[in-house]
Amino acid sequence: MNALTEIEIKALNEALAGEYLAFATYNQMVTDLGEVQPFSDIREAEIQHVDTLCALFVRYGLPVPDNQAEKVMNYASLQEACEAGVAAEVALGNMYQRLLDMALRPDILAVFRDFQEASHQRHLTAFRCCVQRRALSGAGRGRGYHIGGGQDRRHEHLRREG
């Protein structure tokens, strides 16, 4: 397999850093507010995104960077978290749009396209609906509806405190 260009390596690093940050953000939302939708589902999607990007690093013989996501804020209400989710997904979508404009290998482009679509079509839509529901109901304080029982320990290394 041909070596990646510096541009491709930088793009992969930026994408992984963005996904690490998205995971940290949604994990903090779940920590603060409980296993509440859409945060818990989107957090799991971010784990899949991280795994997919890590597989690209391995495929191309690159060391997988450690999760260096900065400390994220705490969330006191569902409304605040939903609004932050909208902002995070807009930022991710914009990042992927910029990365898609680079000259990258087809497999990397395909992953970035998939992630941008997930961000704009599913995650952003879910967070916007969350904002609207909270605004219409006048809700937003408190921990909301909790789902599930035990905690999934897969990818515990992503959930560590920074």
Both structure tokens of 104 = 């990258």
Q: Domain 6-142: which CATH class?
A: mainly alpha
Domain ranges of the chain: 6-142
Per-residue pLDDT of the chain (162 residues; tens, 9 = 90+): 568 999 999 999 999 999 999 999 999 999 999 999 999 999 999 999 999 999 999 999 999 999 988 889 999 999 999 999 999 999 999 999 999 999 889 999 999 999 999 999 999 999 999 999 877 766 544 444 333 333 444 455 565 444
Both structure tokens of 62 = 């690159």
Distance CA 22, CA 128 (A): 16
Q: Which residues pair with 126 in a beta bridge?
A: none
What pLDDT shows up at residue 155?
Answer: 54
Q: Which residues pair with 141 in a beta bridge?
A: 77
